Amino acid sequence: MADTLIRIRNLTKRFGDHEVLKGIDIDVRAGERIAIIGSSGSGKSTLLRCINFMETPSTGSIELDGVTLGRASDAARADGARTYAESELCSVRERVGMVFQQFNLFPHMTALQNVMEGLLTVKRRPAGEARERALRQLAHVGLSDKADAYPAKLSGGQQQRVAIARALAMEPEVLLFDEPTSSLDPELVGEVLRVIRALAEEGRTMLLVTHEIGFAYHYADRILFLADGRIHEAGTPDEVLKRPQQERTRSFLARFTEFGF
């Protein structure tokens, strides 16, 4: 299938004796928006972090735009582990942007410098061009007026929008959102979700780990419900969120529907 951007096969991840992911298969088509839900400890963040190799998968393979990443090491052929070169991972991360729960802005740089940083160091663009592109991205998230502000002077919502602009500036093919609103005060969640919604409407490929079930319902093409390191249930938002087939999914969702969503 030509338009499969990411193909994940039999992905596992273990930390010591604890197997967090127990064999995940996902195909992500270009332009697709996938929401990953599940309780904490289900492995959803780890799954996301394996896609841009913030965590190295224990076994299994990830294919990006038709190219399988890493190579099977001799010793590991039996168990399916692969080894990855640092240079390959850096170029993968350039193409797969990530937004973190804790924003992780660089505190010694202004909003503008944060957004420019990857363009200057990784993409080696001249300062003038980097600046122009960074300003465009800040405008995109509605923060043109905060270009010269340091992160400490910005609200959580503004910081997260700068972090989104920083990821966007690299012109990634895929965006990964790791619970982007979970550490925000409730009144700041909306501004961040609006930015993510606008990106979704532009047709960007994105994977979003979230507890915002309502948002996932309206803006995702597909929902993956993770439990115990496996994809327990997958399908359209209507299938998974309105007519879940699995008991486990139902009881997870009951927590959200209990007080209405």
Buried b / exposed e over 100-119, threshold 16 CB at 10 Å, is: bbebebeeeebbbbbbbbbb
What Rg do the C-alpha atoms of the chain give, in angstroms? 19
Task: At 166, list the tokens.
Answer: 């920083």
> Sign of torsion, CA 215 217 219 223?
positive
Closest approach, Cβ 90 to another protein, in A, equals 5
Tell me the per-residue interface mask from 95 to 134 with another protein, x by CB under 8 A, - otherwise: --xx-x-x-xxxxx--------xx--xx------------
Q: Which of residues 125-184 bind another protein (CB under 8 A)?
A: 152, 163, 166-167, 170
Residue 102 or 257: which CB sits closer to another protein?
102
> Any idea which residue has 């780890």 for tokens?
46
Q: Which residues contact 159 (CB under 8 A, 6 or more apart)?
A: 103, 105, 151
Residue 89 or 234: which CB sits closer to another protein?
89
Q: Given candidates 9, 14, 29, 93, which one binds another protein under the rule CB under 8 A? A: 93
Q: Does 199 bind another protein (CB under 8 A)?
A: no
Cβ–Cβ under 8 Å, residues 177 and 36: no
Closest approach, Cβ 49 to another protein, in A, equals 9
Residues lying near another protein in the complex (CB under 8 A): 52, 54, 86, 90-91, 93-94, 97-98, 100, 102, 104-108, 117-118, 121-122, 152, 163, 166-167, 170
